[in-house]
Amino acid sequence: MMTDYHLYPATGRFMMGRMRQIISTRDRRILEDLVVSTKIARNGQKLYSRGNDIDHFSILVEGFAFSCIDDSKSRCILGLHMPGDLLDVSALPLHRLDYDLVALGSVVIGQIDKARFQHLIRSEPNLTQLIWMFNLCDAAIQRQWTLKLSKLTASRRLAHMIAEIWTRLELIGLARSDGFETPLTQAHLADMCGTTPIHMNRSVRELREVGIADFRRGRIQVEDRAALHEYGGFESSYLFLDKDSETHKELEPIG
Amino acid sequence: MMTDYHLYPATGRFMMGRMRQIISTRDRRILEDLVVSTKIARNGQKLYSRGNDIDHFSILVEGFAFSCIDDSKSRCILGLHMPGDLLDVSALPLHRLDYDLVALGSVVIGQIDKARFQHLIRSEPNLTQLIWMFNLCDAAIQRQWTLKLSKLTASRRLAHMIAEIWTRLELIGLARSDGFETPLTQAHLADMCGTTPIHMNRSVRELREVGIADFRRGRIQVEDRAALHEYGGFESSYLFLDKDSETHKELEPIG
DNA sequence: CGTTGAATTGACACCGTTCAACGACAGTGG
DNA sequence: CCACTGTCGTTGAACGGTGTCAATTCAACG
């Protein structure tokens, strides 16, 4: 389980820390075998443009990506994706997305054949449901972003954002004990928190001065995690963490 | 098809105007028969409290509801639900929701037995996928709300909100040609648009003065719809409307 | 060592919040 | 029929958070 990456190089991080432990070996195999090819991309490269036809579904294998919608003058980042995340399940009904996907740093993408995926939906209810669950988790995160934007000031949004990213990185083993590294710039953070780079800078400074979090060139360091959570109003329950796993026993796979 | 309500009193509006037309008669029947009982509720009544165990899944039959999270001092409305909407599919993995559900006006709820629903997921891939698609549509709406909050001023958010609600009401035949009626108050609109009732009032006045939309005690009247859409930056594509239906042929049911 | 993108700072205007009050309307009961 | 009452809607003024513009510093890299 610790080294699932070796057995399942493309999909080993799918639902890691969430419900992966209840996926049967058979299903892990099937999932891994869906990935027919890989693709690499560099920082800032567009992995997909909104409105275009999707030819493959994708899973993020290495690196990060974000989904965004570019306005005439500004950019809004709607989601942040990490290794193990499915990038475009929401294209299922219309075979296209309503947002762009952009690589954040160097990225490896696993490509899933559309036809085989469609077939899987009919033949593998366990896996189907699991992917659906991933989707619901994504949606829960989206709800939190909405909530955050509605009710928090810029610096508190930032605190919440940092807390969420940190926790999600922990799930897949990419965090340090006192923070994390990230290819995100302050401009990215601004676009994620619905503010301007300039004001984001003030927020970064504020968190630094108050001693809640220190962001410096892609390295975030936190001394008092409880204070961070408190300040940003962060409660991890919406991330479907495994500590809650008693509650989804009914998903226990058949095989 | 016009009078699906009579044949399917509880679920006749499910996916109406979106993908309902491609649901087979058999599947419509199965769906309708999932509803084992109905429940009524009055304005403001809590249909569900966050964190509690879900005993039934629900579909909204008549009236409106919203999902929200109450802060110590304020309320954030995260979603607005209309007849035909499933209210708590996102409780599938954890059997609980991370938000409250509140009735808006008088409401009729159809209750779906959990066990039968779980069984359906294994035995009816068509329906499963359809419900999943509904979910994706919900998520797309959530993304738009996030986007709206990130980038628009209060009065433009309101314009977008009005445009969305109007379009969704049209789908299920509950709109007028020049607007719609709604149990929403300005306070509700404020909670949906991430602002205060006072400022929402100013936004309402502004839309009225500019001649874009006239909100008066639950009645919204619009003369120039194009202007409304323009002002709020509203593009309906994220709602999966049927005019796009050529693109989801592959979902054509087997039966 | 110069170039480039990122981070930082100050000044100022504007959008939105807050507090406090008043006005309009619908439902209720005398 | 009218007074009472509560909810919703409306308004003004002061304050604070945020956007904007312009300019400077900093770190990384060839």
The rounded distance, in Å, linking the Cα atoms of A27 and A33 is 10
What pLDDT band is residue B250 in, cutting at 50, 70 and 90? very low
Q: What is the pLDDT of residue B245?
A: 41
Over residues B32-91, the pLDDT tens digits come to 999 999 999 999 999 999 999 998 999 999 999 999 999 888 999 999 999 999 999 999
Over residues A242-255, the pLDDT tens digits come to 874 443 344 444 33
* Residue B198: CB less than 7 A from any atom in strand C: yes
Q: What is the pLDDT of residue A136?
A: 96
Q: What is the pLDDT of residue B2?
A: 55
- A&B contacts, CB < 8 Å: 125
Name the one residue in this structure whose structure tokens are 């992995």: A47
What pLDDT band is residue A231 in, cutting at 50, 70 and 90? very high
Q: What is the pLDDT of residue A2?
A: 55
Nearest to B238 by CA among A51, A177, A202, A52: A51
Nearest to B145 by CA among B220, B46, B238, B70: B238
E strand segments, A49-171: 56-70, 75-81, 100-113
Q: What is the pLDDT of residue A242?
A: 83
Q: Which helix (H) or strand (E) segment is A214 a member of?
A: strand A214-216
DSSP secondary structure of A85-111: -BS-GGGTTTSS-SSEEEEEEEEEEEE
- The whole-angstrom distance between residue A190's C-alpha and the CA centroid of its chain comes to 17
Question: Do the Cβ atoms of A129 and B121 come within 8 Å?
Answer: yes
Over residues A112-142, the pLDDT tens digits come to 999 999 999 999 999 999 999 999 999 999 9
8 A C-beta contact, residue A153 and residue A231: no
Residues of A from 175 to 194 whose C-beta is within 7 A of strand C: which are they? Answer: 185-187
Distance between the alpha carbon (CA) of A153 and the C1' atom of C29, Å: 47
Nearest to B68 by CA among B95, B97, B111, B109: B97
What is the sign of the dihedral through the CA atoms of A246, B72, A233 and B197? positive
**pLDDT > 90 in chain A, percent:** 89
How does the average pLDDT of chain B come out, rounded?
92
What mean pLDDT is predicted for residues B10-26? 94
What mean pLDDT is predicted for residues A37-51? 94
- What do you get for the CA distance between the two ends of chain A, in Å? 18
What mean pLDDT is predicted for residues A188-195? 97
The rounded distance, in Å, linking the Cα atoms of B140 and B217 is 29
Q: What is the pLDDT of residue A5?
A: 80
Q: Any bridge partners for residue B107, and if so which? A: B41
On the question of pLDDT at B218 being above 80, the answer is yes
Instruction: Work out the minimum CA distance from A139 to partner chain B, whole angstroms.
Output: 6
Q: Which range, of A2-16, B122-136, B202-216, averages the lowest pLDDT?
A: A2-16
The rounded distance, in Å, linking the Cα atoms of A59 and A14 is 8
Over residues A154-174, the pLDDT tens digits come to 999 999 999 999 999 999 999
**Which of A23, A89, A136 is the best substitution to test chain B (most B C-beta atoms within 10 A)?**
A136
Question: Do the Cβ atoms of B142 and A143 come within 8 Å?
Answer: yes
Helix ranges, chain B (H):
4-7, 25-34, 114-123, 125-151, 154-171, 186-193, 197-210, 225-232
- The whole-angstrom distance between residue A12's C-alpha and the CA centroid of its chain comes to 15
Q: What is the pLDDT of residue A244?
A: 46
- What do you get for the CA distance between the two ends of chain B, in Å? 18
* Residue A155: CB less than 7 A from any atom in strand D: yes
Pairing mode, if any, of strands A56-70 and A100-113? antiparallel
The rounded distance, in Å, linking the Cα atoms of A219 and A126 is 39
* Residue B216: CB less than 7 A from any atom in strand D: yes
B78 contact residues in A (CB cutoff 8 A): 143, 146-147
Report, in angstroms and rounded to the nearest whole number, the Rg of chain A calculated over CA atoms.
18
On the question of pLDDT at B3 being above 70, the answer is no
Over residues B133-192, the pLDDT tens digits come to 999 999 999 999 999 999 999 999 999 999 999 999 999 999 999 999 999 999 999 999
Question: Do the Cβ atoms of A94 and B139 come within 8 Å?
Answer: no
Q: What is the pLDDT of residue A4?
A: 80
**pLDDT > 70 in chain B, percent:** 94
A20 contact residues in B (CB cutoff 8 A): none
Tokens at residue A72, please? 């005439």
- Per the structure, the residue whose CA is closest to nucleotide C15 at C1' is B153
Question: Do the Cβ atoms of A89 and B136 come within 8 Å?
Answer: yes
Question: Do the Cβ atoms of B121 and A125 come within 8 Å?
Answer: yes
Nucleotide nearest to B194 (CA to C1'): C16
Over residues B5-15, the pLDDT tens digits come to 889 999 999 99
- Per the structure, the residue whose CA is closest to nucleotide D8 at C1' is B185
The rounded distance, in Å, linking the Cα atoms of A7 and A5 is 6
What pLDDT band is residue B255 in, cutting at 50, 70 and 90? very low
8 A C-beta contact, residue A251 and residue A23: no
The rounded distance, in Å, linking the Cα atoms of B2 and B4 is 6
**pLDDT > 70 in chain A, percent:** 94
Q: Which helix (H) or strand (E) segment is B47 a member of?
A: strand B46-48
* Residue A26: CB less than 7 A from any atom in strand C: no
The rounded distance, in Å, linking the Cα atoms of A126 and B109 is 29
